[in-house]
Amino acid sequence: MEIAVASGKGGTGKTLVATCLARILAEYNPILIDADVEEPNAGLVIPHRVIDTKPAFRPVPEVDMKSCTLCGKCAELCRFNALVVLPSEVMVFTELCHSCGLCAYICPENAINEVNHKIGVVEESDLLSGGQLITGRLLVGEVQSPPLIKAARATRRQDSEYRLVDCPPGTTCPAIESIRDSDFCLLVTEPSLFGAHDLELSIAATKLLDIRTGIIINRWQGDDCDVGIIAREQDIPILERIPYSLELAKSYAKGENPLTVMPELQVILENVIKSVKERVA
């Protein structure tokens, strides 16, 4: 079973939930995937040992000027304006390219080849609590993260009954690439207008992706705020509420085990796992 831990708004507690779920499911040797490749941070809060680091690539066009007739078809058809045909050369803007392969496909002279462009690494680690941590790490300056997220999600040292994806925030391509094809999406939010607003966007995305979804309200202080209204309107269950705790935040920031600091968190997340299992079955 693959559970995506996502959120619209950033900083709501995705990594807290994902890493604690990995600790609770330790006996099953879960695979925790840090798909927030622009700033992967799961490894900062869960003890692990790095075993291997592999480069990740994406294809980008390379133009063979010996065959190119400067016909301009590639530039005309590129949706992202990543190629520009000048009177005597073709300029390729790798950072604009979305690796769709259309230019290479349509080139009448077969002058365009797709070559590998390194975008980051996939780090394979053993979790000291049990299981694996797979971390995607985007190179500084790279802007296309979905191919790296795809590579991270496809990486495993051995299979496990439980796969947990710590997703990037938002509802743009990186978030979609992290959530798609999961069995369940946990949307972590906070009881604020901002949290509720972005939650609604995330629910629209998981509905579009046709993925079962449940809500966890983090930093709860006795009131669901607008999150309750959105959940009712959208018919998405609020699975659990994690109480606000300054003590938890402080110790979490020091890298301590949140389940030790807040024992009720263990119960809350065990309930989440139970609810998810019931809903996926």
Q: Per CB under 8 A, does 273 bind other proteins?
A: no
Quick one: which of 86, 128, 139, 280 contacts other proteins (CB under 8 A)? 86
> Are the CB atoms for 34 and 153 separated by under 8 Å?
no
Binding-site string for other proteins from residue 28 to residue 67, where x marks contact by CB under 8 A and - marks none:
----------------------------------------
**Residue 88 vs 158, nearer CB to other proteins:** 88
Q: Per CB under 8 A, does 264 bind other proteins?
A: no
Q: Per CB under 8 A, does 105 bind other proteins?
A: no
Q: How far is the CB of 58 from other proteins (least distance, A)?
A: 15
Q: Per CB under 8 A, does 96 bind other proteins?
A: yes
**CB count in 10 Å sphere of residue 10:** 12
H helices then E strands: how many in the chain?
A: 11, 11
Q: Angle at Cα 145 formed by Cα 57 and Cα 180, nearest 5°?
A: 110
The residues near 258 (Cβ < 8 Å, ≥ 6 apart) are: 16, 19, 20, 248, 251, 252, 265
* Number of chain residues interacting with other proteins (CB under 8 A): 14
Q: Per CB under 8 A, does 100 bind other proteins?
A: no
- Which range in 39-47, 48-56, 87-95, 126-134 contacts other proteins by CB under 8 A? 87-95
Quick one: which of 1, 26, 68, 85 contacts other proteins (CB under 8 A)? 85
- Which range in 28-36, 83-91, 134-142, 264-272 contacts other proteins by CB under 8 A? 83-91
Distance CA(155)–CA(152), nearest Å, equals 5
The residues near 276 (Cβ < 8 Å, ≥ 6 apart) are: 1, 3, 184, 186, 214, 239
- Which range in 77-85, 161-169, 184-192, 222-230 contacts other proteins by CB under 8 A? 77-85
> Are the CB atoms for 218 and 246 separated by under 8 Å?
no
Look-up of token digits 């994406």: 58
Quick one: which of 16, 33, 45, 75 contacts other proteins (CB under 8 A)? 75
